Amino acid sequence: MFPFAVDKIPPLHGVRVLDAARVLAGPFCGQLLADLGAEVIKLERPGAGDDTRGWGPPFVHGSNDLSAYFLSCNRGKKALTLDIATPDGSELFHRLLSKCDVLIENFRTDSAEKLGLTPGALLAKHPRLIACSISGFGRTGPRQNDPGYDFAIQALSGLMGITGPAEGPPFKVGVAVADVLTGLYASNAILAALVARQRTGHGYAIDLALADCALAAQVNVAQAYLTSGKAPSRQGNAHLQIVPYQLFATADGWLVLNVGNDSQWRAFCAAASAPDLGANPNFATNRQRVERRAEVVPLVEALMRTFTTAEWEARLSAANVPHAVVRGYAEAFADPQALARGMKLTVRDPSGNEVNLVGNPVHLHGAPTAAPTMPPRLGEHTASVLSSVLGLSASEVGALRAKGVV
């Protein structure tokens, strides 16, 4: 199928990552790296662990530390508990870092300074380390010490200002999108730094802020403001710069219509048995339709109500007009396309029970991604990691447990 040999090893095999971050952005980044074959060690506080372990229900049956939230961003990792605020814990932490390629952390700025874990201090001790720091507002600027929460970041970044109905209050996106986007930016930066290290031989510090990532990810809408100087109004389920490109009511339901160019506009009008509308010179180009949105949209709304959703699907599919039915998760995860692409994974917990997980969307040709494994219980791999990575004996691990270090 491909004119090259197929590697049997995932692309990040041999890369070791210490994931010392909590909640979503950092752990999501770590999961992406694990999916690509990195050995990812999740570091958590003894006895408590990542906050998201308790963010339920729902939980995996029979557990109180495997919430759905935790499952979503910790697949494929090993779990280690370690109190890095203690002298013994700090020593072990740095010994682990000396064996790692990447550190992902979201320490508060004051905590990092108190513990001697600022990027500069980390790279002074570990000059080949890729140290990725994730915070609400970054490590510079007047808000560097402020905590950052996804909902607040969506509000502050302008994202809520463009989300929601045209009339009424602003809305947040239905998932913690600022966290997810930051995790994606973080994994991208880490991969770039790993490539650069091969050339330079030295490590890198990566400083990522949720606020920056949320603003940058607003792409064309934010750019529209910078270009025009005018704040874009909320469009609800419509598009700021394309018409008609929005949700419409049909005779019996809802359907998203995605008319992305002028030929699709004419094809839609033909499919709607409205050739005169397609021939109207006032609506011939997308620019005209955007400028005359108040005229075009009511005409399309009236047309869309003349047929059922199923009838529109048949008509629009035959005319090659992009469209989509609004579905829930039951339909989305049962879709043959989603199943064929592996977007629902089934793994087994330590008791052998099946657990369904959201799949990895990356498909590599020429190398595999890592086989999915169950997100770990709190401290599940502490002894094995300390033994295999640092060479500690069972008695040494036992002594650390007795002191509350691990």
Which of these is catalytic: 19, 101, 179, 212? Answer: 179
> For residues 70 and 60, what is the distance between their CA atoms, to the nearest angstrom?
10
Question: Cβ(378)–Cβ(53) under 8 Å?
Answer: yes
For every residue of 296-342, DSSP letters joined together read: HHHHHHHHHTTS-HHHHHHHHHHTT--EEE---HHHHHH-HHHHHTT
Question: Cβ(345)–Cβ(355) under 8 Å?
Answer: no
For every residue of 243-309, DSSP letters joined together read: TTEEEEE-SSSEEEEE--SHHHHHHHHHHTT-HHHHH-GGGSSHHHHHHTHHHHHHHHHHHHTTS-H
Residue type, 183: G
> For residues 57 and 251, what is the distance between their CA atoms, to the nearest angstrom?
38
- Residue 214, token pair as written in the block: 């949320």
Q: Element (H or E) spanning 81, and its range?
A: strand 77-81
Exposed e or buried b per residue across 36-46, where buried means at least 16 C-beta atoms within 10 angstroms of its C-beta: bbbbbbbbbbb
- Residue 141, token pair as written in the block: 């600027």
Asked if 88 is an active-site residue, the reply is no
- Residue 377, token pair as written in the block: 């219980």
Helices (H) and strands (E) in the chain, counts: 18, 11
Phi, psi of 131, deg, nearest 5: -105, 110
> Which residues have a Cβ under 8 Å from the Cβ of 144 and sit 6 or more positions away?
109, 135, 137, 138
Q: Where are the alpha helices (DSSP H) in 36-86?
A: 68-71
Percent of the chain as helix, strand, coil, to the nearest 5:
40, 15, 45
In 93-219 the beta strands, taken as DSSP E runs, fall at 102-105, 130-135, 204-209
Question: Cβ(123)–Cβ(117) under 8 Å?
Answer: no
Alpha carbon of residue 167 to chain centroid: 29
Q: Hey, which residues are catalytic here?
A: 179
